[in-house]
């Protein structure tokens, strides 16, 4: 996790997404950006009174090493439903809402992660997740990030990530770790 805030000058025009609306924007070269969060391979920056999410592949614009696309993850040992499920939960815990410094698993946003065999050493993953608020424009982006990360698991040939609204999310769904991190204990 990235702790502390510091300001950087954006070194080149940088693609980003506005938070919480999810609209694509370009942060212009020369702008001053305050980095508020670096989690799960992306950055949340504050520029001219607005929050934006910058993907790791564009980290060089913020003065960091860019990260490549998600690499294939191979579970240790024999591929089983259990090993793929464990890896799926681990990868879901690397997805973050850009406004909240807690992963989607500890926030209680993932309701279901089911792994099924579809062939020899081939699996499909179905995930049901929600958001802290139904109107959050970042929902599709967070769900897409989860899907890409789950598709990186060796042997996974199909991933469905569904945004669901029932039951509605509530703070009681957060893990103790999340509540502690958010100062709610």
Residue 57 pLDDT more than 90?
yes
Specify the CATH number for 81-181; select among 3.30.9.10, 1.10.645.10, 3.30.300.130, 3.40.1030.10: 3.30.300.130
Residue 1 pLDDT more than 90?
no
Cα 14 from chain centroid (whole Å): 19
Cβ(129)–Cβ(104) below 8 Å: yes
Cα 118 from chain centroid (whole Å): 26
Query: Each residue of 3-25: pLDDT tens digit?
Result: 557 899 999 999 999 998 889 99
Nearest to 84 by CA among 11, 185, 163, 158: 158
What global pTM score does this model have?
0.84
Cβ(97)–Cβ(177) below 8 Å: no
Residue range 6-62, CATH number: 2.30.30
Residue boundaries of the structural domains of the chain: 6-62, 81-181
Mean pLDDT of all residues in 108-123: 96
Residue 79 pLDDT more than 70?
yes
Give the burial string for 61-96 (b: 16+ CB within 10 Å, else e): bbebeeeeebeebebeeebeeebbbebbeebbbbbb
Residues in the chain: 185
């Amino acid at each position: 996790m990235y702790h502390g805030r510091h300001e950087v000058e954006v070194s080149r025009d940088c693609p980003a997404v506005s938070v919480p609306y999810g609209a694509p924007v370009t942060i212009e070269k020369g702008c001053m950006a305050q980095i508020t969060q670096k989690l799960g391979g992306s950055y949340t920056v504050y520029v001219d009174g607005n929050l934006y999410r910058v993907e790791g592949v564009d980290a060089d614009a913020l003065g960091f090493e860019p990260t490549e696309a998600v690499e294939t993850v191979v579970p240790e040992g024999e591929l089983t439903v259990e090993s793929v499920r464990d890896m799926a939960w681990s990868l879901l815990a690397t997805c973050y809402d850009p406004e909240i410094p807690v992963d989607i698993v500890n926030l209680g946003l993932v309701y279901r992660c089911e792994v099924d065999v579809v062939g020899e050493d081939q699996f499909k993953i179905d995930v049901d997740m929600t958001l802290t608020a139904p109107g959050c424009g970042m929902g599709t982006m967070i769900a897409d990030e989860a899907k890409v990360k789950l598709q990186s698991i060796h042997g996974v040939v199909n991933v469905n990530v569904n945004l669901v609204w029932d039951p509605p999310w509530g703070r009681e769904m957060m893990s103790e770790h999340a509540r502690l991190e958010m100062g709610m204990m």
